[in-house]
Amino acid sequence: MARSQNEEAQQIPAEKQENETASHTVLSEVMGKTMQFATTISNKIYDLSLYTGIKLVRTVKQLKKLYLYRFAKCKAEAYAHFTAAAEKRAAQKVDKAPNRELHPLELFAQKRDKIATTLRSAKAEGSDVFARQILAYLCAGTKKGVSYCCRALNYVAPVVAIGILVYTVHSQMNVQYALQVEFDGTTVGYIQSESVFDDAQSMMNDRVIYQDGEEKLDITPVYTIATVSGKDALTDVDTLCNTLIQSSGSEITQASGLYIDGSFVGAVTEGTDLQNALDEKLSAYRTGAENEEVSFVRDVEIKNGLYSVASVVPYEEINTLINSNVSEERTYVVQEGDAPSSIADKVGVPLKELQVINGGGDLQDKMYPGETLKVASSVPYLSVQVARVESWTEEIAYQTVEEESSSYYEGETEVETEGQNGQRLITGKVTYVNGQETGRTRDSVTTTKEPVNKVILVGTKEKPVYTSRGSGSSASTTYTGAITTTGSGRFIWPVAGGYYSCGYGEYYGHTGMDIAAGAGTAVYAADSGTVVTATNYGWNYGYGNYVVIDHGNGVQTLYAHNSAVYVYPGQKVSQGQQIAAVGQTGNAYGNHCHFEIILNGYKVNPVSYIGTGR
Same domain, 482 and 433: no
pLDDT digits (tens, 9 = 90+) for 32-62: 666 666 666 766 665 666 556 666 766 766 6
pLDDT at 436: 78
Residues 362, 264 within the same domain: no
User: When comparing pLDDT for 168 and 120, which is higher?
Assistant: 120
Higher pLDDT, 63 or 13: 63
Instruction: Indicate if the alpha-carbon torsion angle 84, 86, 87, 91 is positive or negative.
Output: positive
Same domain, 268 and 412: no
Q: Do 492 and 360 share a structural domain? A: no
d(CA 265, CA 255): 13
Q: What average pLDDT does the structure give for the chain?
A: 77
Specify whether 317 is located in the same domain as 280.
yes
Calculate the CA dihedral of residues 466, 470, 474, 479 and round it to 10 degrees: -120
Task: Please count the structural domains in the chain.
Answer: 5
**Residue 403 and residue 456: Cα distance in Å, rounded?**
6
The angle that helices 2-70 and 76-110 make with each other, rounded to 10 degrees, is 170
Element (H, E) at 305: strand 300-308
The more confident residue out of 102 and 154 is: 154
pLDDT at 433: 85
Q: Which domain holds residue 421?
A: 383-462
At 580-608, the pLDDT tens digits run 999 999 999 899 999 999 998 889 999 98
- For residue 388, what are the β-bridge partners? 430
Nearest CA among 598, 601, 600 for reference residue 609: 598
Q: Are 333 and 439 in contact (CB under 8 A)?
A: no
Highest mean pLDDT among 94-108, 298-312, 462-476, 525-539: 525-539
For residues 476 and 356, membership in a common domain is answered with no
**Last residue in a domain, options 170, 194, 210:** 170
**Which of the given ranges, 124-138, 200-214, 267-281, 315-329, has the highest pLDDT on average?**
267-281
Q: Tell me how crowded residue 302 is: count the other CB atoms within 10 A of its CB.
A: 15
Which of the listed residues 429, 462, 495 is the one where a domain comes to its end? 462
Q: What is the pLDDT of residue 289?
A: 87
pLDDT at 182: 76
pLDDT tops 80 at residue 467: no
CA 579 to chain CA centroid, nearest Å: 52
Among candidate residues 303, 322, 341, the one where a domain is terminated: 322
> For residue 235, which of 181, 307, 290, 311 has the smallest C-alpha distance?
181
Cα separation, 83 vs 227, whole angstroms = 51
Shared domain for 458 and 499, answered yes or no, is no
Checking if the pLDDT of 209 tops 60, the result is no
Beta bridge partners of 533: 548
> Does 455 score more than 70 pLDDT?
yes
Task: Assess whether 163 and 27 both reside in one domain.
Answer: yes
d(CA 601, CA 463): 10
Q: Is the pLDDT of residue 294 over 90?
A: yes
Domain CATH code at residue 365? 3.10.350.10
CA distance 73 to 63: 15
pLDDT in tens, 338-370: 888 888 887 777 777 777 777 777 787 788 888
Find out whether 494 and 515 touch, Cβ atoms under 8 Å. Answer: yes
pLDDT band at 128 (very low <50, low <70, confident <90, very high): confident
400-449 pLDDT per residue, tens:
999 998 877 677 778 889 999 999 999 999 988 888 777 888 899 999 99
Q: Give the CATH number, domain containing residue 126.
A: 1.20.120
Compute CA 596 distance to the chain's CA centroid, rounded to the nearest angstrom. 58
Structure confidence by residue, pLDDT tens digits, 442-453: 899 999 999 999
Helix, strand, coil tally for the chain in percent (to 5): 40, 30, 30
What's the pLDDT score for residue 549? 97
Rounded Cα distance between 505 and 70, Å, is 89
Task: Specify the pLDDT at position 78.
Answer: 59
The model carries a pTM of 0.40
Domain check: are 308 and 331 in the same one? no
CATH number reported for the structural domain that contains residue 410 in this entry? 2.20.230.10
pLDDT of 249: 64
Say yes or no: 431 and 476 in one domain: no
Across the range 290-316, mean pLDDT stands at 88
Do 127 and 226 lie in one domain? The reply is no
The 3-state DSSP class for residue 291 equals coil
Residue 386: pLDDT band by 50, 70, 90 thresholds? very high
Residue 555: which CATH number?
2.70.70.10
353 and 255 in a common domain? no
Residues of the chain with pLDDT > 90: what percent?
A: 26
